[in-house]
Structure 1
Amino acid sequence: MITILLIIGFLIVAYIAFNKFYPSFGGDVSEEAQLIYKQSKQFKDGKFQNTNPVPEKLSFSENIKLAYTFFTTKVPNSRPAKNLKVDKLEANEVANYKGETRLVWFGHSAFLLQIDGKNILIDPMFGKVAAPHPLLGGDRFNSDFPLDIDKLPEIDAVVFSHDHYDHLDYESVLKIKHKTNHFYTPLGVGTHLKAWGIDETKITEMDWWQEVNFKELNLVCTPAQHFSGRKLSNGQSTLWSSWVIQSKKENIYFSGDSGYANHFKEIGNKYGPFDLAMMECGQYNEMWSDIHMMPEETAQAGIDVQAKKIIPIHWAGFKLALHTWTDPVERVQLKAKELNLKVITPKIGEPIIVKDSISKYANWWKNIEE
């Protein structure tokens, strides 16, 4: 009995120390910051909340059951049979690019946006696993990137949608912070960046519907229906969002992570139509459909925001749900055809001209052996 108690005590102490001192967890929102966040309509009772009452908080037993189901259920074709090949970019070409506004997908939800001579990273998660430690998650589907991270050009701005590990990654931030001029985040997410050594003068935190002018671009922090937290003790302590990025010629939308709700129509009515929308499509399940859209809802959300075309994102990166790795893109294509919505499916690294209406994109995932 004494031995068992000692082991339990050691595990508890180890867990507390891991949470407190392991840098990947980020920072904790201060009481002073919470006083500021009280001005937000989304902040109530010390936490950020969705407009709709979701997600429902799971009990401890429900969390254990969900975790057991995820780690024990075998899903055929849940990962590509081999490492996904990516289209490579030349560092000099990227650094000197002066052409039409374009996007480059780095996998999952990460993008490089080159617009009006500026370089903007969107949810730049370049880590191997979507977890606080390499032993706590499965490897991403693409081990290579279109451009090595250390060869990225100077970054004018980085935009984050929320603080989950598959969107905000400690090691990735360390690799880009020295070459990034400014960071834009929803309320509270800047706390993690400051904990990782980024000066607060380089961080702008924004609430839903707030706008900021950045070098003749208009950045708008817009709603999403999701949640936040990097450890058990700080859930909903930071806000989550989608983003609108507008130049004088282009209008772009990035959904972040979100369940399907009325905010898509609100955003479309206020800021649409969009030349291109990057729409979450992947890592879903009926058990958590209030915080991650099903593929058919992704297509409908594209209609709601008044997008001329959409790119399905949040797939082909990590196994974070119990569906096949190609299920998201195949289902969203079917629904989009029914809704007469254009869907483009670039390979990782394939440049996408935002206003291009001619280029065809292959169903590249069908050529990968199972």
Structure 2
Amino acid sequence: MEQCAYVGEQPNVESKYGFQVKWLGHASFLLTMPDGQQMLVDPVSEQFDWPIDLGFKLTGGFYRTEPEWPVSSELDNLTGVVYSHIHYDHFNKADIAALGTQPTYYTPLGFADYFADGGYKINEMAWYASAQQNALTVHFVPAHHFSSRVIVPYLTEDNDATLWGGWIFEYQGKTLFYAGDTGYSAHFKDIQKKYGDIDVCLLPIASYHHEEYGNWYRNVHLTPEDMLAAADDLNCEQVVPWGYGNMSWKMGDLTSHSALFRLLHVKQTLAPTRPIYILNEGESVTF
């Protein structure tokens, strides 16, 4: 896969909220809150967990360039880890073992069974539940997706036995939203109605194309156009797209870069007024 980097213009950022966003690749972020505490979002540092890893190796399936993971000193203030859902590209047991028992793990309902015994602090949450972490409030919110693990490709181990969703990080009235994998639905308007306008939105723009699953695949993933509609529903002041790039799996898209190409085309043709900040993997921005 050819390595690509975005080198275009970026919107002006005033850094008035104090949220630092570092994109690690695909769906993984390292977030630093205004008080310095850090949250890892959907951390997957390598490839898929066993046994799906072996299955894709045998079938020549979706592999990616591994991200430049944060060095240990970057995680000195890691207080929390959140997961949006249990699909292999968002939840990796090997990373849990590496991150250890110091942070609190915020998960959808049903995740605790996937953690090893050994003192992990796990806070399973239902939609619209909230938890307090020092001055930070963590809210779990709906997404239009699904959740299952598989033993080998196309053989499911469970049927939505765990919940799925997105996360809002609220600090002294300022909000940062991570959508998780999701299709477009009325839940974005519901979230805005409950929590108000969102200051910073991390929204996916892939994967939406699949030859086998067709329209169903788009039903549970956002296109770039859907992402813009979701940003309008949430009334996001700042938008960061994710899901494309050198470190993303192909995941049914034409290439791992095509979602960004499509977003850039949409920006030219539709000229949305809402600012969109496009990161390359490993880059950071403070809003």
Contact 1:333–1:343, Cα closer than 8 Å, also in 2:
no
The corresponding residue for 2:281 is 348
TM-score (norm 2): 0.82
Deviations 1:277-303 (A, max 9, x none): 110111212341211122210111111
**How many residues matched?**
258
Match of 1:245, SS? Answer: strand
The corresponding residue for 1:368 is none
Separation in structure 2 between the aligned mates of residue 342 and residue 148 of structure 1, nearest angstrom: 31
**Structure 1 306/165 Cα, relative in aligned 2: closer, same or farther at 3 Å?**
same
The corresponding residue for 1:187 is 109
Contact 1:124–1:168, Cα closer than 8 Å, also in 2:
yes
**Structure 1 108/299 Cα, relative in aligned 2: closer, same or farther at 3 Å?**
same
- Structure with greater contact order relative to length (CA < 8 Å, sep ≥ 6): 2
Residue type matched to 1:187 in 2?
Answer: L
The corresponding residue for 1:212 is 131
Shift of 1:250: 2.7
Residue correspondence of structure 1 range 114-133 to structure 2 within 5 A? 114-115=32-33, 116-129=35-48, 132-133=51-52
Q: Percent identity?
A: 26
Specify which structure has the higher proportion of helix.
1
Shift of 1:335: 3.6
Contact 2:167–2:178, Cα closer than 8 Å, also in 1:
yes
* RMSD, aligned CA: 2.4
> Is 1:283 the equivalent of 2:207?
yes
Match of 1:260, SS? Answer: coil
The corresponding residue for 1:147 is 70
Q: Runs (4+) of structure 1 moved beyond 6 Å?
A: none
> Is 1:106 the equivalent of 2:27?
no
Shift of 1:269: 2.1
Structure 1 unpaired stretches of 5+: 1-79, 86-98, 355-370
TM-score (norm 1): 0.64
Match of 1:289, SS? Answer: helix
The corresponding residue for 1:230 is 149
The corresponding residue for 2:11 is none
The corresponding residue for 1:268 is 192
Separation in structure 1 between the aligned mates of residue 48 and residue 109 of structure 2, nearest angstrom: 25
The corresponding residue for 2:117 is 197
Deviations 1:136-162 (A, max 9, x none): 335654334153468632420011101
Separation in structure 2 between the aligned mates of residue 331 and residue 135 of structure 1, nearest angstrom: 32
Separation in structure 1 between the aligned mates of residue 118 and residue 204 of structure 2, nearest angstrom: 28
1:167 paired residue among 78, 90, 97: 90
Residue type matched to 1:222 in 2?
Answer: V
> Is 1:325 the equivalent of 2:249?
no
Residue type matched to 2:117 in 1?
Answer: G
Deviations 1:338-360 (A, max 9, x none): 33221111111111102xxxxxx
**Structure 1 283/325 Cα, relative in aligned 2: closer, same or farther at 3 Å?**
same
Deviations 1:263-283 (A, max 9, x none): 001112221322211101112
Residue correspondence of structure 1 range 23-62 to structure 2 within 5 A? none
Larger Rg: 1
